[in-house]
Amino acid sequence: MRICIIGGGLTGLAAAHMLAGEHEIHLFEKMPYLGGCLSSYNVNGYWIERYYHHCFSGDNHLFALMRELGIHESLEWRTGTTGYYSGGTVYPLNTPAEIIRYPELSLLGKARLGLLTLTAKKTDLAALDDIPAERYIIDHLGDNVYTSFFEPLLKSKFGDRRKEVSAAWLFSRIAIRSDRGVSGERLGYLNGGFQRLIDSLEKSIEKNGGIIGKGTPVTSLTRTGEKWAVNHTTYDAVLSTIPPQVLQKAGGPAIPPIPYQGAACVTLAIDRDVTHGIYWLNMKDRAPYGAVVSHTNFIPRERYGEHIIYLASYFSGNLPANADRVMIDDFCTRFSVAPAEIRWHRVAVDPFAGPVYTTGYKSLIPSYEQQGLYMAGMFSRTNYPERSMEGSVRAGREAAACISGGNIHG
């Protein structure tokens, strides 16, 4: 079959990798580089992700793909530490002693939080899809646990839309993030960066005869009989991995829109650590970013020769003007960094950086086949109720199986 794949992110590449060789693959990516949300910058001779990334111990489809590509040996496991920034102070929150010392949470709040963490994995998520996370936490654990612990976390992931997020998202997040040791969370990273995964996929697809068009946006979709034409060329099958509402604008099927949010992420390098050795610092204080992610408190700084820090923020609608300047200025003031200390910085903005898992989201998830066209990506059921590399690899592989005549819930 002649198959068109729209989008060169992880979903599109995983699908193309599976289908190439047996089928004629044409993949179109609008950007001049591959990887989408998992793409990287090349700075000073090393690769660093545009958006902070790590993987989790249960990411079995991702690991299987890495094994197929022969890069699994480069997967390394490290400790990712967490902290909260509150009242101008950095509080590490990893060991039981640090949690007991955290002054923002009452003793009762800490006990309730501990209990919730222990039971999260056994909770029925479907029953929580219609309940707002905020209401659930306030009703079951109290105001103090919400404002001192969960609100900063929700803010770091959903910005101003945090009140719409369902308890199903919150519980799934607690469940996947409970692989903890005594000093922090066990998280994975590919030595050399996740760019190695993207490069290996590109090589494998091309080796098997697939054609990858970078800098080639899909702007037109039309249906003729049973088949779809992409940019005026007709294919036997089309798999789109871009947001359904974006596809619809080009002529794709009309389905209910998925609630999406944008991400704006500043990556910068300085000479020193400013988050007290913490990898992921949630901002409880009001700031123009929800988290400060110090990549080099997770992966050794020696690999890069400098400290790499992300300022992470999410937005809905339009990104405020000069958002990057506002973020950098705030970071410099708050963490006592002189602007001249910043060796370089880059800004990544993606208006469709991930779904907002609002209450009732589950009913919006589209099946892989819609009016004779295949759709898979961050909006697929494998990415519910949290989008991830694992969910996108699975979505790509399951949609590819549907196209090849497999029987995975078309």
Q: Is residue 392 close enough to count as binding ligand FAD by CB under 6 A?
A: yes
Q: Which is nearer to ligand FAD, 183 or 219 (CB)?
A: 219
Q: Is residue 83 close enough to count as binding ligand FAD by CB under 6 A?
A: no
Q: Is the dihedral of CA 12, 243, 260, 29 positive or negative?
A: positive
Which one-letter amino acid corresponds to residue 378? M
Q: Is residue 36 close enough to count as binding ligand FAD by CB under 6 A?
A: yes
Applying CB under 6 A, among 353, 375, 402, 403 the residue interacting with ligand FAD is: 353
For the CB of residue 340, give the shortest distance to ligand FAD in the complex, in Å. Answer: 28
For the CB of residue 97, give the shortest distance to ligand FAD in the complex, in Å. Answer: 27
Q: Which is nearer to ligand FAD, 104 or 386 (CB)?
A: 386
Of 70-78, 278-286, 322-330, 390-398, the segment contacting ligand FAD by CB under 6 A is: 390-398
Q: Which is nearer to ligand FAD, 71 or 353 (CB)?
A: 353
Quote the Cα angle for 356-357-361, to 5°: 120
Q: Which of residues 270-289 bind ligand FAD (CB under 6 A)?
A: none
For the CB of residue 290, give the shortest distance to ligand FAD in the complex, in Å. Answer: 11
Is the CB of residue 28 less than 8 Å from the CB of residue 6?
Answer: yes
Quote the Cα angle for 102-105-109, to 5°: 130
Q: Which of residues 2-21 bind ligand FAD (CB under 6 A)?
A: 6-12
Q: Is residue 377 close enough to count as binding ligand FAD by CB under 6 A?
A: yes
Q: Is residue 387 close enough to count as binding ligand FAD by CB under 6 A?
A: yes
Is the CB of residue 63 less than 8 Å from the CB of residue 81?
Answer: no
Applying CB under 6 A, among 28, 150, 189, 384 the residue interacting with ligand FAD is: 28
Is the CB of residue 203 less than 8 Å from the CB of residue 196?
Answer: no
Of 1-9, 120-128, 200-208, 366-374, the segment contacting ligand FAD by CB under 6 A is: 1-9
Q: How many CB atoms lie within 10 A of CB 225?
A: 7
Is the CB of residue 312 less than 8 Å from the CB of residue 293?
Answer: yes
What character string, x for contact with ligand FAD (CB under 6 A) and - otherwise, covers 206-235?
-----------xx-----------------
Q: Which is nearer to ligand FAD, 119 or 191 (CB)?
A: 191
For the CB of residue 112, give the shortest distance to ligand FAD in the complex, in Å. Answer: 27
Of 17-25, 99-107, 240-248, 323-331, the segment contacting ligand FAD by CB under 6 A is: 240-248
Q: Is residue 52 close enough to count as binding ligand FAD by CB under 6 A?
A: yes
Which residues of the chain form contacts with ligand FAD (CB under 6 A)?
Answer: 6-12, 28-31, 36-38, 51-55, 217-218, 241-242, 246, 263, 265, 353-354, 377-378, 387-392
